[in-house]
Chains A and B, each alone.
Chain A
Amino acid sequence: MIRLISERIKLLSNNETFKLFLTYKRGVIGLLLLSLMVFLALTADFIAPKRFDEVDPSSRLLPPSIKYLFGTDHLGRDVFSRVIYGARIALWVGLLVVLVEAGIGVPLGLLAGFYGGRVDKFISAITDLIWAFPPIVLALAIVTILGPGLTNVVVAVAVVSWAPYTRVVRAKTLSIVSREFIIAARAIGESSFSIMLRYILPNTLPPIIVLATLTIPSAILYTTALSFLGFGAQPPTPDWGLMLSEGRDYIFKAPWCCVFPGLFITLTALSFNLLGDALREVLDPKLRYG
């Protein structure tokens, strides 16, 4: 499996594709923005001037300055440090949500597309049902049952938004399953399981990668929204949504408490969207082989 994925990645990163990607300026901007976020998240311990939970009552709600780049919040915590540590949480949560979503959605899509018939009808019905729910409401309901906390938010967001994966993988599987190399795979005696794993799944990876880059921002937005509403990360976690929520009371007096976390949420979501759009076009077989 790992070998397969690494093969796929090698194939994707071959010169031709990468060169094509470089011609998409928006995609390159997205990649640079994302790299910046990842860099901040990885090196937060070294870059951040203060710890994210270091309270300093003597310097509350200070405006941005050389000492406090993004100002301080109502407890005198350094907003810059908190935003940087927040990148760690946002990216980790985004990645985790997408992994759980793909973990639910991809196998279901494979099964639906491969077996068709009743299996397909059943899985598609559930997918449509999930899709029809307003996601934030359903996620709220789930978090209410599970209790607040970042892990529960990840579960809740993933449970309400795996449907696109099933649809995309199902559609792609349907188009692959009737191809001759699948019959050839049967002809050499491959079992259904290994046909799904070794023949269909690798061929569905490009749309899955694109979908992942496009769903990470919404995953981040949902989790920050839940944190904003008080269901997600609990203080003093430097979650961007939570920071927005805490800064809300001081929005006129100290707008920097909200502006910077908000800006970083936007930039992160934007970076993934730009990247995803470019990837979608680069991985489009019509452009690649046409």
Chain B
Amino acid sequence: MPRTLLSIKDLRVYYETIRGYVKAVDSVDLEIYEGESFCLIGETGCGKSTLALAIPRLLPPNARILSGSIMFKNIDLLKLSDSELEEIRGRDIAVVFQNPMSSLNPVLRIGLQVGEPLVAHFKTPWREALISAIKQLSRVGIPDPHLRSKDYPHAFSGGMKQRSMIAMMTSCKPSLLIADEPTTALDVTIQAQVLRLIRELKEEYGLTLLLITHNFGIVAEMCDRVGVMYAGKLVEVGNVIDIFESPLHPYTKGLIECVIARRKSKSRLSQIPGAPPSLINPPGGCRFHPRCLYATSRCTSEEPGLIEVSREHLVACHNYVR
């Protein structure tokens, strides 16, 4: 049994808005093991990013963490003070964001930014930090790193910016790397390169990876285990083979049906009927029941909890289908 690095229990994150609370993450339990690649997948707006950003508490100011605990190396991150958390961010937990175009400070040279975490956390002198920043940049595949480290971000392409972000975020060799749709904003040829880079660094530094995506191709490529989210709930967790070969939750099934490459004939691309519910007033019972082909009366009233169907394969459905 692998060791648990991160353990989230009963986490609820709501956003305060004028129209009421948006229940972006509602009672989620999740364990991530040391050294694995865990993937969160789901539609836009289902709470994946909120769940991931709640771990280092990088949520927008209107987010409220109402309950739960996030144990990271036996420390509850939700109980830490801001300054204690600042020490952990970047050193133990790093985040790569979706949009590299705006994730770098436009007025600081790349080298300075990549070296910044070392200075912030280990009081490394700037000169040394710059040297290791250049090493780090060459590690992520920036050509002529000692020259390019003097550039400002606007002189970098999207892919190079994302590589620099990855260089910056891994410069302290964190134990957990959260990648929030790291390739969504990049074009397809660069996507593969960046994903390969993340995987290489993961092996090299022994990182644990929490990857957020809505692309099943990336899941298959990158991950050991998968968590499927729907409307703020974790509906299915399992290892990647189980999820692809024998998905249990009707939502997971639907998602996999939607993947273009899996289309057998030239028939219309399948889709899940309906749209994700409003998270201000989510449907009662199972949140997926209005769109579910197998919904029964029990689904409308009683909320299913995650149950372990087979080893390490959990599903939240009353009548999951094998």
**Contact A187 B169, beta carbon cutoff 8 Å:** yes
Which A residues from 177 to 201 make CB contacts under 8 A with B?
A: 178-181, 183-192, 194, 198-199
Task: State in angstroms the CA–CA spacing of A70 and B94 once bound together.
Answer: 69
CB-CB under 8 A from A249, the residues of chain B are none
Inter-chain contact B152/A11, CB cutoff 8 Å: yes
Chain B, Cβ-Cβ closest to A187: B95
Q: Of the candidates B82, B88, B106, B165, which one forms a contact with A184 in the assembled complex, judged by CB atoms under 8 Å apart?
A: B165
A184 to B166, CA, bound (A): 11
Interface residue stretch chosen among B114-122, B132-140, B213-221: B114-122
Q: Do residues B107 and A187 form an inter-chain contact, with CB atoms below 8 A?
A: no
B107 adjacent to A202 (CB under 8 Å)? yes
Contact partners of B60 in chain A: CB under 8 A: 178
Contact between A198 and B108, CB atoms less than 8 A apart:
yes
Q: Which residues of B contact A181 (CB under 8 A)?
A: 102-106
Task: Please give the distance in Å from B270's CB to the nearest CB on chain A.
Answer: 34
**Complex alpha-carbon distance, A132 and B94, angstroms:** 47
Report if B184 contacts A (CB, 8 A): no
Partner of A189, one of B99, B105, B120: B120
Q: Which residues of B contact A199 (CB under 8 A)?
A: 105, 108
Residue among A11, A183, A186, A188 making CB contact with B107, cutoff 8 Å: A11
Docked Cα-Cα span, A69 to B214, in Å, equals 79
Pick from B87, B102, B105 the residue with the most CB of A within 10 Å. Answer: B105
CB distance from B25 to the nearest CB of A (A): 18
Does A183 lie within 8 Å of B120, measured CB to CB? Answer: no
- Contacts of B297 on A, CB cut-off 8 Å? none
Asked if A203 and B86 sit within 8 Å, CB to CB, the answer is: no
Whether B97 sits at the interface, judged by CB under 8 Å, is yes
Interface string of B209-233 (1 = CB under 8 A from A): 0000000000000000000000000
Cβ–Cβ contact B94 & A187, under 8 A: yes
Q: Are B104 and A188 in contact (CB under 8 A)?
A: no
Question: Are A188 and B103 CB-contacts (below 8 A) given A116-B61, A180-B97, A183-B58?
Answer: no
Give the residues from 187 to 243 in chain A that come closer than 8 angstroms, CB to CB, to chain B. 187-192, 194, 198-199, 202-203, 205
Closest residue of chain B to A289, judged by CB?
B154
Cross-chain contact B107 with A8 (CB below 8 angstroms): yes
Q: Are A179 and B102 in contact (CB under 8 A)?
A: yes
B107 touches A7 (CB 8 A): yes
- Chain A residues near B89 (CB-CB < 8 A): 186-189
Answer yes or no: B109 CB below 8 A from chain A CBs: yes
The listed residue (B86, B88, B94, B103) touching A190 by CB distance below 8 A is B86
Partner of B117, one of A180, A183, A188, A203: A188
A185 (CB) vs chain B CBs: closest residue: B105
A289, B106: Cα distance in complex, Å: 13
**Binary B-proximity of A110-143 (CB < 8 A = 1, otherwise 0):** 0000001000000000000000000000000000
A194 and B103: CB pair below 8 A? no
Contact B165 A189, beta carbon cutoff 8 Å: no
Q: Mark A49-75, 1 if CB is under 8 A from B, else 0.
A: 000000000000000000000000000
B281 interface residue (CB < 8 Å to A):
no
Cα–Cα, bound, A189→B56 (Å)? 10
Given contacts A199-B105, A202-B108, contact A187 B58 (CB under 8 A): yes
In the bound complex, residues from chain A placing their C-beta under 8 Å from that of B256 are none
Contact between B99 and A180, CB atoms less than 8 A apart: yes
Shortest beta-carbon distance from A115 to chain B in Å: 10
Residues of A within 8 A of B107 (CB): 7-8, 11, 202-203, 205
| Bound Cα distance from A26 to B144, whole angstroms | 42
Most buried by B among A116, A184, A188, A192: A188
Are A188 and B90 also in contact (CB < 8 A) when A179-B102, A183-B58, A202-B107 are? yes
Closest chain-B Cβ to A134's Cβ sits at a distance in Å of 37
Q: B127-159 vs A: 1/0 string, CB under 8 Å?
A: 000000000000000000000000010100000
Residue contact B116 to A203, C-beta cutoff 8 Å: no
Tell yes or no: B83 within 8 A of A by CB.
yes
Residue of B nearest to A183 (CB): B58
Q: Are A187 and B104 also in contact (CB < 8 A) when A11-B152, A116-B61 are? A: no
- Minimum CB–CB distance from B111 to chain A (whole Å) comes to 12
CB distance B58 to A180 under 8 Å?
no
Interface residues of A (CB under 8 A from B): 7-8, 11, 116, 178-181, 183-192, 194, 198-199, 202-203, 205, 289
Give 29 A-B contacts (CB < 8 Å), ordered by A residue. A11-B107, A178-B60, A179-B102, A181-B102, A183-B103, A184-B103, A184-B104, A186-B89, A187-B56, A187-B94, A187-B169, A188-B90, A188-B116, A188-B117, A188-B120, A188-B168, A188-B169, A189-B86, A189-B87, A189-B90, A189-B121, A190-B116, A191-B83, A198-B105, A199-B105, A202-B107, A203-B105, A203-B107, A205-B107
Q: Beyond A8-B107, A203-B105: 4 further Cβ-contacts under 8 Å? A: A180-B97, A184-B95, A188-B90, A194-B120
